[in-house]
Each structure stands twice: as C-alpha cells, then as structure tokens.
A = this chain, B = another copy of it.
C-alpha cells in the first residue's frame, strides 16, 4: 500500500484513513461465492462452545441477568479468574488485579490506551498478529518491529536486539507468547530477563497470553505472571475465546497491578462499559468446569499440529518450525515472491484459504499461515491441494 499517496479524502483523521485493510480479509473476501473452499485462514476453534457453557448462559438469561454489571466485571467472575490464575501459575493473584473486558481485543485496546499516544512507541517481536500494530495506529503511536529469528526448525527472540530497539519514547514492550502466527513460546529464563530489564528501565511489559493454554507438552506456557511481583509494571491480556471455544462470545480479561484498577474501570466505561452480563456468568462456569474440554481440544490440536508439520517439513520447497503453542503452522514456500498474490490464486484455483505472512509483518516472500484447528481429513485434503498447486 502506497501510504505516501493517501490524503484524508474521507475527511477523517489521516491516521485512520491510512490504516491498511487487513490482508487476512483481503484474501477471505475473494472467496465469497466460491464453493468448496477449505477455510484455514481464521484463528478459531472448529467446534461449537461446549454445551455446559451455553447452558450457563441460558440459565443466566432465565434468571433475568440482563442488567448492567460493574465496569470491571461481575465480582464473582473476577474472583473466579483470580482463583484460576493463582491455581494455574502457583502464585497468589488477587481479584483486585483482574479486570473483565468485552474480549481479548478490548483488553488490548484498553492496555494500549493506558500508555500509547502520539510521540510514543511500542517495541514488539514480529511476525505478529496485525491487531497489535492496528491498535497502536488508532492511538497515533509508533510500532517498532523486532524480527524473531527463524533458525530452520524453530523461532528465537534476540533479547539484545529487542532491548536495542527501545528508546526514550518507548512506553511498552509487547510480547505475545505463545505467538500468533509463529507458535513461538518464549522460554521462562528469557521472560525473567526481560521482566528484569523492564524493571530497571521503568518500562511497561504488556504480554498477550491468549494462547497460554494451547501449548504442546506442557500444561501452560511460561507466563510473566509466574515471575512478577504484584506491583510490577506488567499487564497481561487474556481471553476466553481460544481455550473454551468462545470466540463469538466476546469475553476477555486483564491482569494488572491493583493500582490500575480505578483507571481501567474508567477506561472500560468509556470503551464498551463491559462484557454482556450473562456472558460473564457463563465465563464463571467455563473456568469451573472447563479443564476436561481444554485437555481434549489441546490433544486434538496436537495431533493436527504433528500431522500438518510432518506433511509440510518433508516438502523440499517448504521451511517450517514445529509450533510449540497456538494452532497455526507458519511456513515458507521457496520461490514465492508475492505471498498475497499466491494466496489469492490459491483460494481461486486450489480452493484452500490461507493467510499471507505479510499480514503479520513477515517478508512477502512466501510465508503463509495455516490454522490447524480442524479435523485431520480436512487438513489432509487442504495439504494435498496445496502440494498440487505448488507442484504445478
């Protein structure tokens, strides 16, 4: 996109007029009206929300739970989230640190509103979900990308390079682990070092941990919450969407120092005012009874991950790391010079929906994202089509 030619022809803020259309959507839109496309572009579990969570929402509706809630969320949900986090990480996390939001996305917007304004910047490893930069763009800040290194069979963050990108305008370091799209999981020791660096610099650390439960070979991903003191400048974003298959519900939460509570109450009020009341009440039940569902889903995803990885890695033109978390395969096909054009062609001819890596700030040369939260036979069919397309 040639931003230099953009003027505010709509009469809006230039920052808003300049924002590019999502490259995820640019491809997905092309598929409209096309039959038999296998859509592996969106980051969404392929199953409906479990019945027991839906039942809880139905019960809350029957109980007349249709009125406003406090801006930081239903107190019982905040208590349940504090207990859930404390148990998961083995450290006490008080409910004064929990703010319920109307999605993980809303949690991210609130976190950024606390810190980002014109003249400030954030430093963030990439490739990265484009909404992080999108949020910064809305607030007029500057997004500084530090590329993860692809080692051939894994992704690695050079912590020195990350810290070298910090300057006196930096208001936060943003880390998404497990990472979308790479499946990178930040090692525990590196988390400790980064947290210590942020302490020394007085910097905020904002961690997007929405895939904390979607990891392979461990109960949860390392979390900054395991190492942080309650008053550290740490903000953790989380969401019910992925672990409990609740994407359409719009329910997330923030874990912050308790002293931010009043500010977040104000900000929630001025953004959405909060999540739906009966959705919040269903969230309590998801936390209480959802562990079996999470285990089952992660086992399914792990099978799908291994299947997709093995198929991709054996292809001579494909480079890929085995994802450690999340549910995406992020891989590069040798010889592709324009990932967007490739994806647009792929959906038209091979009828497989992937996302170009450049959507995440990767180079345009052949990186692609495939969501493997799907059945093996669907993935098999998609991979066969892809293999045929690149063999042609």
Residues of A within 8 A of B (CB): 10-13, 15-17, 19, 21-22, 25, 42, 44, 48-49, 54, 57-58, 61-62, 64-69, 102-103, 105-106, 109, 113-118, 131, 134-135, 137-140, 202, 204, 233, 245-250, 259-260, 262-263, 265-267, 269-279
Given the known inter-chain contacts A49-B66, A118-B140, A138-B113, please indicate yes or no for A11 contacting B267, CB distance below 8 A. no
- B115–A13 contact, CB under 8 A? yes
- A328 to chain B minimum Cβ distance, whole angstroms, is 16
- A248–B44 contact, CB under 8 A? no
Q: Please give the count of copies of this chain that the complex contains.
A: 2
Q: Could you pull out 17 A-B pairs where Cβ atoms are within 8 angstroms? A: A13-B114, A13-B115, A13-B116, A16-B263, A19-B266, A25-B265, A44-B68, A49-B61, A57-B57, A66-B246, A66-B249, A102-B250, A102-B272, A105-B272, A248-B276, A249-B277, A250-B250
Q: Which B residues are CB-close (under 8 A) to A48? A: 64, 66-67
A16 to B266, CA, bound (A): 9
- A71 to chain B minimum Cβ distance, whole angstroms, is 8
Q: Which B residues are CB-close (under 8 A) to A66? A: 48-49, 54, 245-249
Q: Which B residues are CB-close (under 8 A) to A263? A: 10, 12, 16-17, 19
- A360 to chain B minimum Cβ distance, whole angstroms, is 15
- A247–B16 contact, CB under 8 A? no
Q: Which residue of B lies closest to A62 (CB)?
A: B54
A42 to B68, CA, bound (A): 9
Given the known inter-chain contacts A16-B114, A67-B44, A267-B16, please indicate yes or no for A11 contacting B272, CB distance below 8 A. no
- B64–A61 contact, CB under 8 A? no
